[in-house]
Structure 1
Amino acid sequence: MSLFSALFSGVTGMNSQSTAMAIISDNITNVQTVGYKTSSSAFQTLVTNAGRSDAYSAGGVRVKPIANIDEQGLLQASTSATDIGINGQGFFPVAPTATSNDRLFTRAGEFKLDADGYLKNTAGYNLLGLQLSQGLTDAQINALSVPEVANLTPVRISNFTGTAQATTTADLNANLPANAVNGDTYTTTIQVFDQKGLANNMQLTFTKTATANEWTIDIGNPTLASDGTANGTITPNTGTATFAATGAPSALPDFSALAIDWDNSTTDSTVDLDIGTVGDTDGLTNYGESFSVSAYTQDGYKSGNFTGMAIGTDGVVSAQFDNGQTQKIYRVPIVAFQNANGLSSETGNVFRETVASGNALENWAGTGRSGNVSPNSLEQSTTDLATEFADMIVTQRAYSASGKIITTSDEMLEEIIRLKR
């Protein structure tokens, strides 16, 4: 009887609209969830066969939730160096804990350092990446192969310290007064670092000789900058410089291989001290009436403590130290999928690989199918409240209409029952 099929059709309508309302409610409640991807409802006809050409049996409707995981959300600027978004396709690889072998994927890039130095997002998932060896150049980092997701490790910052570097090169720019007479002496102190990162002072003494435009240069042995304690010997430690009438040097001593024998049981150093070029004014000069040092630079530095971090568009995580140095310590890949909408959604705004999604495609950021990392930004929810509220009104009306089918069919059946009376 068609009336019974109408009743069941109304039931399918109410059930389907209930599912649609549940999807809408999830979208609305996650309007402020970082990296949230909306779902939508796809309605399909449900057809039943009446068995006769002159009869009709109502089937109804069914609904299928559609995940819009591949939809790009708005990237909003953030003041936190650990907040990152993705501009384009792909996901950040994450793990539930630092020791878990489970691999999940997320667009929620609101990461923070926990008490153990791990980068975790607000749902508690650990960001994963490839730990970089110290001293790699940019070219070497770019040449590294992308590991499989299973071989990535949790990004941990606090177990890094800035290493010290001994001075290997130094540059001095100074002017020796042109009106100096025999025996006039001027001094300046330069600083160099040993391989332990200890600062050492060395005094340079410039003495005018009896020969016109000629000066001797003496380099004192290094002493600790902290307390003046003797800390080694340097060779060669003397030389002679002469100047032309133009004030530029006509001859300079060779200090390109100063050997420092340190007393503090550290490895000996060789320092290239550049005091200028013959015929040029890029180092020592012989002008005017005053002695002055205009510049001194050197490439050594002390060891450093972690002070902050930065993440580049290429996914490279750099640690910053209080000695002014930066060290590249991890690189985070961006994992894409052939069908991102086929991923399985799980609690915590994360997704799991499925047969429908295809296998994970690991790439460095900006290569292959993977988008770029957007530093200091967060991807906002893709929920559009105006659209959701409009859909809610339609869903509510459709639900009420489906209920009206049931009540009307019930009244018609009641009329049939009254015929017997």
Structure 2
Amino acid sequence: MMRSLYSAITGLRNHQTAMDVIGNNIANVNTSGYKRERASFATMLGQASQGASAPSMTNPADITTTTVGGTNGITIGLGSVLGSVDKIMTQGSSSYTGKPTDMMIQGEGMFVVEVGTSTYYTRTGNFDLDENGMVVDSNTGAKVQGYLNTGFASPTAYPANLTLPASLSDITINRGDTYTLGGVAYTLDSYGIDSKGVVTGVFTDASGNSISREMYQIALATFNNTNGLNYEGNNFYTESNNSGDANLGVAGSAEKGDIMTGYLEMSNVDLSQEFTDMIVTQRGFQANSRVITVSDSLLEELINLKRS
């Protein structure tokens, strides 16, 4: 059978995969925090029909004695394979929501969330408070992780300056809860989150006096190879063998970006780019289909030689 038939089949299969990737990108054009993907092809191992030959010389030390020049080898390609499907982790545009628990990372980094004993990483800051005051992902209920201000859990004293522990913890903001400071009962009245991810609570006593204390700081993670993360659905990623370990820290430190509250990061899908890629992929599919049609015609001519 003709090699062109099988080469064209690999082209059809790869262009179908590329169209699947493009379709998924377009389907997620309005998915907050989504990162577009790109399919790349590579050549399949070729079939060598003639090896390369070196020049023939009567005296190898003197190139002027060459009698016959060298020739290049001949290799016939056998099609293409899917080389990779790359994640394009560029920054998406911002969308203002005004919701105080919505967060967007301006720059590098990913939010850290937990589901049971599993840890995930995400660029989507679509967060909310559950009935227990815990900061969670609105879509899945995954618990957002941060650093508890050391000493804040004490029933009698809360430091004014933020001191972070080594380990992460859940973030709980229970408005209306009563705390004791200097022997005076204070109620958590409101809270705010700044660009460094610091959660500051405003506490009010029975006389209407207010004080503020830093309660938590939201954790961010960076990786040596963000493109190597495993995609787990729900805009969640996990570490892989090629992503490197998570480098945990806080916003504004160790190349980690700042946090914008009241905003969500939109998808980085560019529809003009996707439609252009769609046209190129469609033409590539059509061209490979045409190769199969022409190859079939050639085989038909060979069969008809017997009849004539």
Regarding TM over 0.5, the answer is yes
Amino acid at match of 1:38: R
Residue 356 of structure 1 is aligned with which of 242, 247, 270? 242
Higher helix content, 1 or 2: 2
CA deviation map 1:44-68 (0-9, x unaligned): 2223214346976331122221111
Equivalent in 78, 81, 91 of residue 72 of structure 1: 91
CA distance in 1, matches of 2:201, 2:16: 50
Residue by residue over 1:332-377, the C-alpha shift from the partner in whole angstroms, topping out at 9 and shown as x without a partner, is 1211001111111111101101120111111221111211112221
> What pairs with 1:7-86 in structure 2 (closer than 5 Å)?
7-52=5-50, 57-63=76-82, 64-69=84-89, 71-86=90-105
- Tell me which amino acid in the other structure corresponds to 1:111: F
| Equivalent in 165, 171, 175 of residue 155 of structure 1 | 171
SS in 2 for 1:157: coil
Mapped contact 1:162–1:327 kept (Cα < 8 A): no
| CA RMSD between the two structures | 2.2
The structure 2 residue matched to 1:393, chosen from 273, 279, 287, is 279
Mapped partners of 1:28, 1:368: distance in 2: 34
Distance between the aligned counterparts of 2:226 and 2:88, measured in 1? 9
Per the alignment, residue 332 of structure 1 pairs with 218
Q: Determine if contact 2:192/2:199 at 8 Å carries over to the other structure.
A: yes
Go from structure 1 to structure 2 and tell me whether the alpha carbon gap of 1:398 and 1:25 turns closer, same or farther (over 3 Å shift): same
Alignment of 1:92-107 (within 5 A): 92-96=111-115, 100-107=116-123
Contact 2:113-2:121 at 8 Å conserved across structures: yes
Question: Where do residues 70-219 of structure 1 align in structure 2 (5 Å cutoff)?
Answer: 71-96=90-115, 100-124=116-140, 125-132=142-149, 133-134=151-152, 135-138=158-161, 140-141=162-163, 144=164, 147=166, 151-158=167-174, 161-163=177-179, 195-197=183-185
TM-fit CA distance, 1:84: 0.7
> SS at the partner of 2:125?
coil
Q: Is the 8 A contact 1:162 1:325 kept in 2?
A: no
Q: Which aligned pairs between 1:312-331 and structure 2 lie closer than 5 A?
A: 312-321=194-203, 324-331=210-217
Cα deviation for residue 115 of structure 1 reads 2.1
Alpha-carbon distance between aligned partners in 1 of 2:32 and 2:81, rounded to the nearest angstrom: 31
Give the direction of change, closer, same or farther, for the CA distance of 1:137–1:308 in structure 2 (3 Å limit): closer
The number of residues matched between the two structures is 274
Partners of 2:160 and 2:204 lie apart in 1 by 21
Note if contact 2:175-2:190 (Cα within 8 Å) is conserved in structure 1: no
Listed as ranges, the matches of 1:399-414 within 5 Å are 399-414=285-300
TM-score (normalizing by structure 2) = 0.82
Q: Please give the alpha-carbon distance, in whole angstroms, between the structure 2 residues aligned to 1:335 and 1:346.
A: 17
Question: What percentage of residue pairs aligned between the two structures are identical?
Answer: 32
Per-residue deviation, residues 298-332 of structure 1 (Å, max 9, x unmatched):
xxxxx32x444321111112234565443322111
5+ residue gaps, structure 1: 167-194, 198-302
Q: Is the 8 A contact 1:366 1:372 kept in 2?
A: yes
Name the CA distance, whole Å, in 1 between partners of 2:75 and 2:305.
23
- Correspondence for 1:309 among 191, 198, 215: 191
How far has the Cα of 1:196 moved from its partner?
Answer: 4.7
Rg larger in structure: 1
- For structure 2, the 5+ residue unaligned runs are 52-72, 153-157
Distance (Å, rounded) in 2 between the aligned partners of 1:123 and 1:392: 31
User: 1:220-369 counterparts in 2 under 5 A?
Assistant: 303-304=186-187, 306-321=188-203, 324-369=210-255
Normalised TM-score (structure 1): 0.61
Per-residue CA deviations over 1:153-210 (Å, capped at 9, x if unaligned) read 22122287253556xxxxxxxxxxxxxxxxxxxxxxxxxxxx455xxxxxxxxxxxxx
